[in-house]
A and B are shown apart, each in its own frame.
Chain A
């Protein structure tokens, strides 16, 4: 059966109006706004030979930026996995005054423009800022080091873990707690052996999203990073620098690496989640 007849057969079953119109609008918009600009990247890259491409993406300074970006993003993601899990737990399981405000506060990093977050963190943690002055005697330097990069990344990606774990935790039935506790398990053991495995997919997905977001973060990071070559330069900044030098080919080559890594990670997260759901339902998805 050809695809056109399949299409026509499915269409005849449609009751609601507007299929053609909405399909048309959506396809036009997606092609113009999403796909067409993305193809320009391929066009730009096709002008490079494989050797030139490799030379750009494996340049020493660029490789250093990958290392810094990935390490800082990984630390930010792990910190958020712990903090996000704690916040989801506190917000779902307990009642206390100010809980609603705390819940609303969790979304602040999504609502606050990244440049605003960037200059605020940079000012607070600089050597003259009030957090910086507190930390300096302890020998902790945040601004203009990789710690600052990780801090900015962690700030912008906090909501991912909280908001993916929260609904799953809300849906866990009381019986799970009852069963674990009546069998005499301690809180810690029950959490680790009974609740954590159920939260695991949501926790990994949230952490993964936080990691992907951190890899691409720009506005929040560049102010606090100090942007020293080989030390505190993130990959997004490398793309930006190449663009300011009108080196479009170089910018595109590095961008293609960032893009490929984030899309692959997203795909892997989706597949892993699908696989997990399948296992949970005995092989049927």
Chain B
């Protein structure tokens, strides 16, 4: 049966336009990042990469990701369990609240943290009296990163856990399994791939966050400079090759994220076929 838009000319025309526009708007910038990074040869690329401040920025970025991912992983699992396995008043409100970080401008996210924990803020003022500084130091970066990435794991888990339903877990309860056993033996195997993808997304955003982090970090070279901030710093210094070297690292993480997503989807599709 011929479907709408299946005439050979229409088909060719639509695919051609779509592919051409995607290459122009999506693939070309990606190629440009690597072209710029290697513009002055591989020697300068390595030199830029092994720069003291670049290494410090990589270290800090990894450190932030290592701290935020587990926290938001645990939170995301608890949230998904709560809203898909129980009915309670305020459930919808909670689901809406959790989407706020998606809608809020990153600069505004940074601002609200600065207001609360900065020296003039009501918690920040108290902390300052006790010589604890959160803003313009790494704990501030961790806090805003937690804020901007908190919905990712839950967003991946909720639709899946809703679709799967609670029957298997209920059966486990009847057989007398404890809560933790149920989670480990029944729920976790069912959600592990979605969970993994949630973690990968959290990682991508935690590593790449710019707006919120730049508000609270103070961008001190070698101290509170994450990789995206370092990209900006080098770019403002007219060190284009250096900036694109750091950008190429971040682009590699993005490519890994896309590959992981495609891989996990391919896996899920194949499992559907076998069923």
The CA of A243 and the CA of B179, in the complex, are separated in Å by 48
How near does chain A come to B244, taking the closest CB pair, in angstroms?
7
Please tell me the number of chain A residues within 8 Å of chain B, measured between CB atoms.
96
In the complex, chain B residues whose CB is within 8 Å of the CB of A103:
262
Whether A240 contacts B26 by the Cβ 8 Å rule is: no
Whether A43 contacts B108 by the Cβ 8 Å rule is: no
The CA of A41 and the CA of B100, in the complex, are separated in Å by 15
Contacts A3-B89, A181-B2: A251 and B33 contacting too (C-beta < 8 A)?
no
Whether B103 contacts A266 by the Cβ 8 Å rule is: yes
Q: Among A6, A44, A124, which residue has its beta carbon within 8 angstroms of that of B32? A: A124
From A7-15, A52-60, A140-148, A199-207, the one touching the partner chain is A7-15
Whether B247 contacts A119 by the Cβ 8 Å rule is: yes
Whether A112 contacts B211 by the Cβ 8 Å rule is: no
Whether A29 contacts B182 by the Cβ 8 Å rule is: no
Whether B115 contacts A248 by the Cβ 8 Å rule is: yes
From B9-17, B41-49, B52-60, B188-196, the one touching the partner chain is B9-17
Is B126's beta carbon under 8 Å from chain A? no
Is A71's beta carbon under 8 Å from chain B? no
Please tell me the number of chain B residues within 8 Å of chain A, measured between CB atoms.
100
How near does chain B come to A154, taking the closest CB pair, in angstroms?
8
In the complex, chain A residues whose CB is within 8 Å of the CB of B87:
10
Query: Which of A16, A30, A131, A217 has most B Cβ within 10 Å?
Result: A16
Contacts A16-B166, A120-B29, A124-B32: A25 and B78 contacting too (C-beta < 8 A)?
yes
Q: Among A116, A120, A154, A243, which residue has its beta carbon within 8 angstroms of that of B111? A: A243
Interface residues of A in 1-49 (CB under 8 A from B): 3, 6-7, 10, 14-19, 21-23, 25-26, 29-30, 33-41, 43-44
In the complex, chain A residues whose CB is within 8 Å of the CB of B210:
113-115, 118, 218-219
Contacts A16-B182, A93-B3: A239 and B29 contacting too (C-beta < 8 A)?
no
Interface residues of B in 58-88 (CB under 8 A from A): 74-75, 78-79, 81-82, 85-88
Q: Among A174, A219, A248, A259, which residue has its beta carbon within 8 angstroms of that of B228? A: A219
The CA of A190 and the CA of B178, in the complex, are separated in Å by 56
Whether B15 contacts A94 by the Cβ 8 Å rule is: yes
In the complex, chain B residues whose CB is within 8 Å of the CB of A118:
210
Contacts A17-B178, A155-B25: A119 and B5 contacting too (C-beta < 8 A)?
no
Contacts A22-B81, A219-B210, A219-B211: A109 and B26 contacting too (C-beta < 8 A)?
yes
In the complex, chain A residues whose CB is within 8 Å of the CB of B85:
16, 18-19
The CA of A40 and the CA of B53, in the complex, are separated in Å by 34
Listed A/B pairs (30) with beta-carbon separation below 8 Å: A3-B89, A14-B86, A16-B86, A18-B81, A19-B88, A22-B78, A34-B97, A39-B116, A83-B25, A87-B22, A93-B3, A98-B19, A104-B262, A111-B255, A113-B208, A113-B228, A119-B243, A178-B1, A187-B7, A187-B10, A194-B4, A216-B105, A219-B210, A239-B108, A240-B107, A240-B214, A243-B111, A248-B114, A252-B115, A259-B108
Closest 7 CB pairs of A and B: A113-B208, A216-B105, A17-B179, A219-B210, A218-B211, A111-B254, A40-B116
Beyond contacts A15-B166, A37-B112, A216-B107: 5 other A-B pairs, Cβ-Cβ < 8 A, are A10-B87, A17-B178, A26-B94, A39-B116, A115-B210
Residues of A within 8 A of B (CB): 3, 6-7, 10, 14-19, 21-23, 25-26, 29-30, 33-41, 43-44, 83, 86-87, 89-90, 93-94, 96, 98, 100, 102-121, 123-124, 130-131, 154-155, 158, 174, 177-178, 180-181, 187, 190-191, 194-195, 212, 215-219, 223, 236, 239-240, 243, 248, 251-252, 255, 258-259, 262-263, 266, 270
